[in-house]
Structures are given as structure tokens and as C-alpha cells.
Amino acid sequence: MAQKHHRNKTHHNPTPASKNPKSTPPVKKNSQPLSSPKPQKPPVKEIAVLFLKSFAHKIKSVPDFIANLWTRQTTSVKKTWSSVKDLIDNRFPLLKPLLSSWIGRVIVSIIILVLLVFFLYGGINYIVKEESKKYFTTVEESPHAQVAIVLGALVDDEGHPSPMLRDRIKGGVALYKEKKVNKILMSGDHGEIGYDEVNSMRRIAEKMGVPPEDIFMDHAGFSTYETMYRAKEVFQVKSAVIVTQEFHLYRSVYIARRMGIEAYGVMVTNPGYPPEYVQWCNFRDSLARLKDFYWVNFSHPKPTFLGSAIPIDGDGRITLDKYYNRYDEMKKKRKGD
């Protein structure tokens, strides 16, 4: 029989470290492991103290700064007033008694301020007129442009245009029929359903033979500035002939030119306009030139509505809105009654 060989399984009992002469020595309590040192926290308190000290130092220097600024400004005003006083003494000796009292100095200051305002008023009006009138033309002599921009005016509750607006529409249609422009842009106020200038203008132009696809409407032309801004940005107009009365044409052409549109102006007139109303329009527009001069040269405000692009070379019927035939429906209803 085959003998079974039994192997003795020995269980290894490791010798304790204290009894094993080759074992590693125990780690000392004060020893540190070999690892990267931990980042130290920033001295928050010290930084805060330094910041507060610096801030307190700056606060202390503020009164001195204000005092120095006040002194410099006061000195400058005194020097300016002294120069004005010397000028008045030398050139206008009759005004010298006025400068001896504070009331007199106040009166002289007001007079100077009024003169400056009038010079500013007259200067801006002169610039706007001189810069724009060289681009005035007639229907027959007008250069070719993309579009005739007809500026809106008052319409009544029935949608009938005022005489001034009707003359503007006729001028735009005349440019179209003379093939001086490819399209007509009717720009006016249609901010409410109950008041609509642009559709009234469109209907008259259609009756005069202009195809609907060649008539665009700007429903948000609430001002001359907004009309030119939207003509440039929304309708992508590059060249235009603007149609309106003389008092309005100066700033219309000026604004369009300053906005980068190659603009010309055709003046429409009618001897039937009331003279008092024309005088009022001239005065009102002379003040409006100051506002638009500042807007177009300095502040550049955006219009009330801007919207996506509507290229003027497309189909004008895209500018029709759901209220465009409201007056037509009212007329049909009245005829039916």
C-alpha cells in the first residue's frame, strides 16, 4: 500500500519586535513624517488691520482734498470774474456802477448767461441750416436714390391727412413716378390703434397709382430722429430723398447725413398754409434743432422701437399690420348702412 506522507504544517508566529534584534527601532514621539509641509493660513488679522489703517488715512485726507479743490475752483472763478470786470471797466464804463453791489453783479451775470444762450441757439441753428441746405433739390433735379422718405404729420379721427401731410405724400409720389426713387417709405406715428398716420399715407399713395409692394410703412416713426435712425438700422437705407416742408427739411437732412445716409431734400409748400401756423412751426423746429443736434452728435439715444431688419429693396407689403384696413372696413360698413 502506498504510504501516505504527512507534511507537518508549521504555523509561523512572528517574533515580537522587542525580541527581534533586526526589527526597526520604534518611532520617536517628536519625530514628523517625511511629507510636504501644510500651507500656512494668511494672517487675516494683520491684513485687516493694515487695510483699516490705510482706509482711515484716506478718510482723513478727504476733507483736505475737498478744501483744496474748493480753493482752486474759487480762485479760478475769482480770476475769471476779475477779467470780466476789467473788460467791462475798460470797454463799458457805464456798467461800472452796477459791479459795485452784489445785485449789480447778479444782473450782469444773468445778462451774460442770456447772451450765451442766444449765441448757442443761433449758432446751432446756423450750423444745421448751412450743412443741410446745400443738399436741397427739386423733383426734376433730384439724384436717384433707393427711397423717398415721407415724414408723417397730423391726421384726423377718420384718417384724413392734414394739408401739410397731403402735400408731402404728393411729393413722394411725384419722385416715384419720375423714377427718381425705387420705393416710398411712409414714416409716422402709429403707436395706438386709434391713431394711424402711416396707413392713411399708404392709402393715398395707392390711389395715386403707386403699387402696394413699393410702399413701406414705418409704424414707429415717432420723431424725425427716430425715423432716420430706423431708416438706417431697420430698413437699411443707404440713399434717400426726404420730402417735407422747408422748416422741417433742415434738421431732417442734417440728421440723416450725420447718420450716414446719402440724403437729399425736396421741399413742398402751399400758399394755403395759415401764416400764423407756419410761424409757429418755424419757431418750434428751431428749438427741435437744438435737441436733435445734441442727440445726433453726442448722446445717440436709441429709438423707442428698433426691431429686426426689413430691407428697403424688398416687398413693402411686409410692413402691413392687422389694423391696416380698419378705415376701409369702417367705410364699407357705413356704405352698407
Q: For 183-199, how does the pLDDT look when each residue is reduced to its tens digit (9 = 90+)?
A: 999 999 998 888 999 99
Q: At residue 15, does pLDDT exceed 60?
A: no
- pLDDT score, position 6: 45
Question: In angstroms, what is the C-alpha Rg of the chain?
Answer: 41
Averaged pLDDT for residues 276-297: 96
- Between helix 102-133 and helix 44-91 the angle, nearest 10°, is 90
User: Quick one: cell of 74?
Assistant: 474759487
High-pLDDT (> 70) share of the chain, %: 73
- pLDDT score, position 49: 63
Amino acid in the structure at residue 94: L
Q: At residue 10, does pLDDT exceed 70?
A: no
- pLDDT score, position 194: 85
Specify the range with the lowest mean pLDDT, choosing from 38-47, 84-93, 130-139.
38-47
Specify the range with the lowest mean pLDDT, choosing from 55-64, 232-241, 303-312.
55-64
Averaged pLDDT for residues 318-323: 79
* Helices vs. strands in the chain: H and E counts, helices first: 8, 6
Distance from C-alpha of 289 to C-alpha of 283, rounded to nearest angstrom: 10
Confidence of residue 16 (pLDDT cuts 50, 70, 90): very low
The domains found in the chain, sorted by start residue, are 59-132 (no CATH), 135-336 (3.40.50.620)
- Between helix 102-133 and helix 246-258 the angle, nearest 10°, is 80
Confidence of residue 304 (pLDDT cuts 50, 70, 90): very high
Distance from C-alpha of 268 to C-alpha of 136, rounded to nearest angstrom: 11
Q: At residue 51, does pLDDT exceed 90?
A: no
How many Cβ atoms from other residues are within 10 Å of residue 201's Cβ?
29
Q: At residue 35, does pLDDT exceed 80?
A: no
Distance from C-alpha of 192 to C-alpha of 178, rounded to nearest angstrom: 34
How far are the Cα atoms of 20, 27, 28, 45 from residue 16, in angstroms, in the given order? Answer: 6, 16, 18, 52
Contacts 24+ apart (CB under 8 A), 113-121: 120/290, 121/286, 121/290
Task: Compute the half-sphere exposure of residue 91: CA atoms within 13 Å on the CB side of its CA.
Answer: 6
CB 135 within 8 A of CB 263: yes
Strand ranges (E), the chain: 136-137, 145-151, 181-187, 215-218, 239-244, 262-267
User: Quick one: cell of 62?
Assistant: 478727504
Confidence of residue 159 (pLDDT cuts 50, 70, 90): confident
- pLDDT score, position 62: 61
21 or 91, which is more confident? 91
Judged by DSSP in three states, 154 sits in coil
Confidence of residue 102 (pLDDT cuts 50, 70, 90): confident
Confidence of residue 21 (pLDDT cuts 50, 70, 90): very low
